[in-house]
Structure formats: C-alpha cells, structure tokens
Chain A
Amino acid sequence: MGKKVLALGEIRDGELRNVTFETIAAAKQVAGDGEVVGVLLGEDVSEFSNELLYYGADRVVKAEHYNLGNYVTDAFTQVFSQVVEAEEPEAIVMPHTSPGKDMAPRIAEKLKCGLISDVVDIEGSEEDATFTRPIYSGKAFEKKTVTAGTLFVTIRPNNIPALEKDEGHTGDVSSIEVEVNDLRTVIKEVVKKTSGTVDLAEAKVIIAGGRGVKSAEGFKPLEELADLLGAAVGASRGACDAEYCDYSLQIGQTGKVVTPDLYIAVGLSGAIQHLAGMSNSKVIVAINKDPEAPIFDVADYGIVGDLFDVVPALTEELKKVTAEA
C-alpha cells in the first residue's frame, strides 16, 4: 500500500536548511512503499527542487508567490493548505523549526487532525509508525501514535539522519498556482543577530559557557574555540542572567534544547534546568574548576581546571591536530 506523504522543505536566508533532508528521510520512513512529495514554498525556489530529489523525494511541488519571501503565518498557512488540498496527502512531515512550530499546529487544527511535535525518532511505518519525542525538555521521552485523521508530525533538527545524496535520483517537479489573501501581520524589520554564526538548533558542535566565564569578555576564548570547530556558542541561564551574553544563546528547560554530536560545557555547573536542555547530546565534555559540579555526572570526559587555561590550550592543541590532518 504505502502512504502519500508531504515533506516540507525550509529555506532560510536564501539557503536550503539541512533539516529539509532529514524531513524527507522521515517522510520516506512514514510512507513505506508510498510516495514522498517534497514541498517548497518561497518567492523563487527553482534552484532547490533538484536537491530534494537527490535526497530521496519522489517528486517536488513548488508554490511560489511574492508574499512568501519571508515566513509570515498567514501567507505560509494559506499556501501550504492549498498544497494539501491539491495533493490530499495521508501524512505530512515538517521541520520543528521556527516556521514549522508556528504553522504546523494551525494546519493541524484546520485539518482537524492530531499533530506529534518535535519528533526525534521514528519506528515502523505507515499505520504502525510510532514517534518518540522528548518531554520535560528531555528529562523523559514518550512514544506516540496517531489515532485519527491525517498523520502529521514535526521533526527536531539533527536527530533523524538524512539519506545519502544521490545525484542520479530524478523525479517530476511541478508548480502550483497559489493565492495569498489578507495578511494580518507585516514584517517591518529583521535584525540578524545570528548571521555569520552557526545556528544552535542545527549545530553539530556547541561550546557553552556558564557563570564561570565571569564576563562578556570571558566568552572570547570560547568563541575562538567555536570558530575553529565550526561550532555554535551557547550559555547557561546563569551567564544570561548575569548579562554576559544574549538570552537567545540560553540552553536549558527555559531556553533552547539541543542535541549536538559534541557539547563542551565550560565553567558551567550543570543545574538541572540546564541539563534538561543538553544532556541528550551525543558526547559531553565538561571543563570546570569544581570537581563536585553536577555537570561531571553527565559528562563523557571531564577536565578539572581553570577554563582560562584549559580552553586556550585546547584551541592550540586542536589547531595542531587540524594542521597535521
């Protein structure tokens, strides 16, 4: 049998985000031997449609409109709903990112269906698919299933592996005429605070600082290490409250929940709220003066020492290793 599944891609700052390919992989699993239709919404998305095919979509539907340049709720909800009407899918997969979080519940309500948000793992396919998602910010997990209506899930970036890219994989690319009416919200300005830096949600490596970093200036060595590793910089609530850095960097039960391959916690004690936001990272390194700090309980590797000695030394050592390689 197999299911027909829509997989929504995401374009940010003129680039296709990685989570798009993970969304396609998730859709493939849900579809069984059914069909995965990649969907792209934007002003002009033609340059990206082949990428969706290379990563496993069976075909691609483009919806282009001058009101889809930046994400706004009304425009994207209206247009995606028109794609759903035209395609009549049995299942939908979207990224659990800023646009996905904003739009998916609205679409689900419109379709009067359930929605399983922030999925990190999928077992089985079609009707038998079960979806694992974190609860209590990762202090626990639950397995859910859909009991009625369209099967609709959003997936957390960085958890469900994308399929291998295959440039030989082809498929049909079509366009759909869409309408956008009455936009009730208008974007006036966007201030990029993250440009040039790596996005926390998608980062493979995160260097996070806590109160031990002592000042905004104290984040410098962490930033140098992050630059070298192509990592994102994060922080504990303590560091944000002390105004060493912006709240947008906060990781924890309030703040962002992250699951990178490597998490380096620097001068950060590891309060339970912080651990909730990062303890499911694949490998955790703790650097702290206090050997009793709870962060060492979740760390795979720990160094007890002054971060202002250890971090620059680590950066130097990594430079050597990269130079050798």
Chain B
Amino acid sequence: MNIYVIMKRTFDTEEKIEINNGLIDEEGAEFIINPYDEYAIEEAIVLREEHGGEVTVLTVGDEDAEKELRTALAMGADQAVLLDIEDLDEEPDHYTVSEMLSAYLKDKEFDLILGGNVAVDDGAGQVGPRLAEKLGINQVTTITKIEINGEKAVIERDVEGDVETVEAQLPLLATAQQGLNEPRYPSLPGIMKAKKKPLETLDLDDLDLEEDDIEAKTKTLERFLPPEKGAGKVLSGETNDQVTELVDLLKNEAKVI
C-alpha cells in the first residue's frame, strides 16, 4: 500500500481569534496538525501496519509547517514533503493548494490518498475533492471506517448522522470524519526516529509551476469577529418561577417559540 496523507497546520482549537490589519493574529498562537488530518495520519499508519508499504505526509505551507510534519513522522509516517508557497505574492486559495498538490502527485504511484474532511481554520473542505478531480481518481468523503480488500475499499461514511456503507475502487482519495480512530501520541522513540526521517521541501520551480497557473480564483476582502454579545439575563427564584419566566421571555421577548 502506497499511501499519501494531505495535512494542514492549523491554529489550536483552544485559541481565541484576534484580528489585526485584516489578518488573523498569529502572534504567540499554538499550532497543531488539523485534528481531522490527524485521523487521516493515524489511519494511514494502521493500514500500513496491516498491508505494508509506505506513508508519505504532504503539506502546502511555509517552513513553519516542518514542525507539524515532524510530528506526523513521529507518529509513524515514513517520509514528509513540504510544498513551499512562502514566495507567492498573492494569498493562495483552495484552487492554489489543489494545483500544488496535484502537480506533486500526478506522476506518483499510490493506492490511497487520505486527508481530513475539513480543516478547523478555513472550514471549506474543498482541497480533498478538488485534488481527486484533478487527479481523475475516485473519492469518498467523511469516512468513519475503512478496510482494504484487494483493489477495493469497504468504507463506512457519515452522511449527516446516517451511516452509509460503500464499496469503492482504488486508487481512492478518502477524507476522515471524527470517529474514524483515536490518533496516537508520538512516543519518545518515535520522536527520536522522526529527526532522521526524510523531509523534502519543494517550491514552485521544483514542481514546474508558474505563479500565474495557480493564482487564486477567489479573494478575501475582509475578516471580522462576530459582534460581542451583551450580558445575558440570569433568572432567579424557585425553579418553577424561573421556568415560567423563561418560557415567557422566549415567547414574548425573543419570539422563538
């Protein structure tokens, strides 16, 4: 099994968001592997343990992302590749990222590409299906279970709460949903070994791409925080009185029931 995992470095979900000059303030923020991508990395390692082969983790970003790639190597991935977009003049979008990934993957041999179904920062979930289309391969999104059976994968996927069992032909791009597995923590020997594992950095030239070819098709005009909520009303009195007051407020003030 040759498996590639596409992953993204994201803000820790514990972080509060602040905006400075229209950009998300990254000063002092903790970064992590996007939690959904972590499920993908774990699953790739489990599948390799069962079927043999190699796991390559792949990200688009700048050199800061090396830290998260090393974490994935410490979990057990065999090698890592950073597609460096530090030199891009314009802000990238999902189109840019998919073009970068497909430029790298188009002449590689693989059975499976895994990734998270969405990243917790941007939340669009576009890159997986875009990449599958660009590579002309099959896709199954929001998976919660996968078994490889020769040329096929038997998969359970989450469809807004329902469970759908599908049989999908390889090569396949599958995106992870919560519930797929419990990602392992890197062990100390894992962390030591990760330092010696190969981590390759490629830029646009290495991928034979021109900036014009991968220019974003969308543009962010503005970022803003939701309006601060005023303090709410905490009710008091006996339970029954509070409940009566609440129902009255919901009905007559908030008008939601």
Task: Encode contact with B along A71-84: 1 for CB under 8 Å, 0 otherwise.
Answer: 11110010000000
Residue-wise interface mask of B (123-162) relative to A, using a CB-CB cutoff of 8 A (1 in contact, 0 not) = 1111111111110001111100000000000100011111
B183 to chain A, nearest CB (A): 12
Q: B110 → chain A, closest Cβ, in Å?
A: 15
**Pairwise interchain contact A139-B14, C-beta atoms closer than 8 A:** no
B140 — which chain A residues lie within 8 A by C-beta? 73, 185
| Interface of chain A, main secondary structure | mixed
B242, A303: Cβ atoms under 8 Å? yes
Given A141-B224, A304-B234, A310–B243 Cβ distance below 8 Å?
Answer: yes
Contact status of A118 and B124, CB under 8 A, knowing A102-B141, A199-B161, A285-B250: yes
A27 to B182, CA, bound (A): 41
- Of the four ranges (under 10, 10 to 19, 20 to 34, 35 or more), the interface on chain A belongs to 35 or more
* A101 and B161 contact, Cβ closer than 8 Å, known pairs A115-B94, A144-B218, A247-B178: no
- The count of chain B contact residues (Cβ–Cβ below 8 Å) is 80
Residues of B within 8 A of A145 (CB): 218-219, 221
Is the CB of B256 closer than 8 A to any CB of chain A?
yes
Stretch at the interface among A60-68, A85-93, A170-178, A188-196: A188-196
Residues A149 and B162 in contact, CB atoms below 8 Å apart: no
Q: B167, A185: Cβ atoms under 8 Å?
A: yes
Q: Is the CB of B13 within 8 A of A301?
A: no
With A109-B133, A301-B232, A303-B243 already in contact, the answer to whether A134 and B123 are too (CB < 8 A) is yes
Q: Which residues of A contact B181 (CB under 8 A)?
A: none
Q: B232 contacts A106, CB within 8 Å? A: no
Q: Does A29 contact B (CB under 8 A)?
A: no
A181 at interface by CB-CB < 8 Å: no
Task: Determine if A313 is an interface residue (Cβ-Cβ < 8 Å).
Answer: yes
Asked if B26 is at the interface (CB within 8 A of a chain A CB), the reply is no
Query: Contact at A106–B256, with CB atoms within 8 Å?
Result: no
Q: Which residues in B have their C-beta under 8 angstroms from that of A314?
A: 243, 246-247
A186 to B169, CA, bound (A): 9
User: Is A143 part of the contact surface with B, judged by Cβ < 8 Å?
Assistant: yes
When the two chains form their complex, are residues A106 and B161 in contact, meaning their CB atoms are under 8 A apart? no
Cβ A101 vs Cβ B125 within 8 A: yes
Q: How far is the CB of A197 from chain B (nearest CB, A)?
A: 8
> Nearest Cβ distance between residue B127 and chain A, in whole angstroms?
8
Contact among B14, B16, B126, B165 with A105 in the assembled complex (CB-CB below 8 Å): B126
7 inter-chain pairs at a CB distance below 8 angstroms, sorted by A residue, are: A104-B129, A143-B224, A146-B218, A184-B169, A190-B162, A194-B160, A229-B257
| Residues in B lying within 8 Å of A, measured CB to CB | 11, 13-14, 16-17, 19, 24, 35-36, 93-95, 98, 117, 120-134, 138-142, 154, 158-169, 172, 178-179, 215-226, 229, 232-235, 239-240, 242-244, 246-247, 249-251, 254, 256-257
* Chain A residues near B (Cβ < 8 Å): 71-74, 77, 97-98, 101-106, 108-110, 112-118, 130, 133-149, 184-195, 199-201, 205, 229, 246-250, 253-255, 257, 261-262, 272-273, 276, 279-280, 282-286, 291, 296-305, 309-310, 313-314, 316-318, 321
